[in-house]
Amino acid sequence: MTNLQDTIDSTDDLVQTFRDMDLEESIWDYPDKPYDFPKEFTHWIREQRAWRESAALIDQSYHMANMAVTGSHEDAVDLFESLAVNSFEDWRTGEAPKAKQFIACNPDGYLIGDCILFWLEEGRYLMVGEEPTHNWVQYHTETGDYDLESEFIYNPIGPSDPTYFRFEVMGPDAMDLMDDVVDGGLPEIHFFQMTEFSINGVDVYAVGHQMTSEKGIEFFGDYDHHDEIHELLHEEGEKYDLHQVGNKAYVTTGIELGWIPLAVPAVYDHPDMQDYRDWLSEESLEANLSIGGSFVADDITDYYATLGGMGYSHIPKFDHDFVGREAIEGTLEEPDQKRVTFIFDDEDVMRIQNSIFRDGDNYRFMQIPDVAFQACLSRHDEVLIDGEHVGISKHPAFSYNEHEAAALGWIDAEHAEPGTRVSVLWGDPDTAKTQVEPHVVTDIQATVMPAPYMKTDREDM
């Protein structure tokens, strides 16, 4: 096998192949990745509390793929605009630096992926996030008529250091801490606005961004300065009770942010994407996607995500042509699915956890707080009302700050009213994963709430 299409053709049941795939066999836990980032720096509860009560630091330098696009600005905007649902009119008339959540769909309007796209300066662009979006852009860069080059300058499974350090500081004291460390003080910066400043003489780019319901700022610069900036943040952060966030707590931020990670990329079936599947390597994430959860579909396309289900209905602009426009135009004012939060009933969560203390059948133990990535990259638990399928619970996690287990996901729009009661099927049936213990599937009663369901300070930034 050499490409994604070979992977698809090699199995009679692609869904089962991905459902049987252990994380250690997938790209997520690739054995040669150079950085074994700590699961905890202190304790995950301390780290979760820090972003609600004081200040928290996330080192995002290592876990996200970075792809550079360089060349003609006009061609770059043409390329991005042809693939993204976003409008790029402000990039045609404005000036760098700018940032945008880049969202790409397949011809049927299903999500391929999303990432953050940075316009750093004339002719220099940076894509940061999950690999499927990068791959889609790189394919079109290489095969289209553009005066552009694209290159993965950092991959989490690669052997080299990152090109950029990337830090996120958040919490009620985050802006005071940043005002202390930024040379000349922290400039005013609004949500998703970009600016430039220096820290200890080091030039950095910054974007108004947050990973939780609290205020935050993200900044990045030359990786050679990673250690000195990291040390300075900890030194100045002592008076703000700064805690660094490890992987356990980090993956729980999505519940507060309202961002659903890694939907199954919609690239496996459409005939217009045949050349892309032939181009995409067998080593890509798309060819090594470990799927988990109670939802067992007949076809990989049943896992595809809609813009409504991901909470992106407000983002598309129809001032340009893009892949998937015809499919989604006219469907977004009243989407069939909506992104929601499912608040799990405490009694059912405790029943599941306590089942290991008795003989007989056990339920799938929740490895709190980072429940979502138990033995899979992309989790899909079935959501039911009166036994009928109505949605998917996608990203479960435990929040100490709220003292509850919750999950991001999507539900049929007619059932999205806050307070609606649903059942979430919990477990991984019929899988050969060795990382899944013997168990029986059970149900969790849950309440539908908005996503994000906590008050956010992002508009006040």
pLDDT tens column, 253-286: 989 889 999 999 999 999 999 999 999 999 999 9
**Token digits for 262?**
């890694």
- Sign of the dihedral through C-alpha 211, 215, 220, 226: negative
Residue-level pLDDT at 27: 46
Which token pair is 204?
């950095």
Backbone CA torsion sign across 103, 394, 415, 459: negative
Q: What type of residue is 140?
A: H
pLDDT digits (tens, 9 = 90+) for 48-68: 999 999 999 999 998 899 999
Which residues of the chain carry a pLDDT beneath 50? 26-32, 458, 460-461
**Long-range contacts of residues 93-98, Cβ cutoff 8 Å, at least 24 apart:** 96/120, 96/121, 96/122, 97/121, 97/194, 97/195, 97/196, 97/205, 98/194
At a CB cut-off of 8 Å and minimum separation 6, what does 329 contact? 318
Which residue is associated with the tokens 């940075």? 118
Give the closest residue to 207 by CA, choosing from 96, 302, 293, 105: 96
Q: What gap in Å lies between CA 41 and CA 250, rounded to an integer?
A: 11
Q: Which of 440, 427, 429 is nearest to 393 (CA)?
A: 427
Domain ranges of the chain: 40-63+161-245, 65-154, 271-455
What dotted CATH number matches 65-154?
A: 3.30.70.1400
pTM of the model: 0.95
The secondary structure of residue 230, as a DSSP letter, is H
Q: How far is CA 279 from the centre of its chain?
A: 24
pLDDT value for 381: 98
Tokens 């598309």 correspond to 316
Is the distance from CB of 58 to CB of 170 less than 8 angstroms?
A: yes
Domain 271-455 is found in CATH 2.40.30.110: yes
**Residue 455 confidence (pLDDT):** 66
CA distances from 291 to 18, 23, 55, 287, 295 (A): 5, 9, 34, 12, 10
Look at residue 217 in the predicted model and tell me its pLDDT: 95
> CB–CB of 3/279 below 8 Å?
yes
Task: With CA atoms as reference, report the closest residue to 8 among 254, 257, 276, 350.
Answer: 276
The tokens describing 201, both together, are 């003489």
Token output for 358? 């008795």
Burial class (CB in 10 A: 0-12, 13-18, 19+), 445: middle
Rounded CA gap, 2 and 281, in Å? 6
User: Of all helices (H) and strands (E), which one includes residue 229?
Assistant: helix 226-237
Q: Which residue has tokens 């792809």?
A: 67
Strand, helix or coil for residue 277: helix
| Domains 40-63+161-245 and 65-154 fall in the same CATH topology | no
Q: Which amino acid is at 77?
A: V
Percentage of the chain with pLDDT > 90?
Answer: 85
CATH number of 40-63+161-245: 3.30.1360.120
pLDDT of residue 454: 77
Token pair 């409504």: residue: 308
CA separation for the pair 24, 31 (Å, rounded)? 8
How far is 201 from 214, CA to CA, in rounded Å?
A: 28
- pLDDT value at residue 421: 98
Q: Which helix (H) or strand (E) holds 423?
A: strand 421-426
Nearest one of 145, 110, 80 to 270, comparing CA atoms: 110
Residue 331 is predicted with a pLDDT of: 86
Q: What are residue 442's DSSP bridge partners?
A: 426
Burial class (CB in 10 A: 0-12, 13-18, 19+), 79: buried
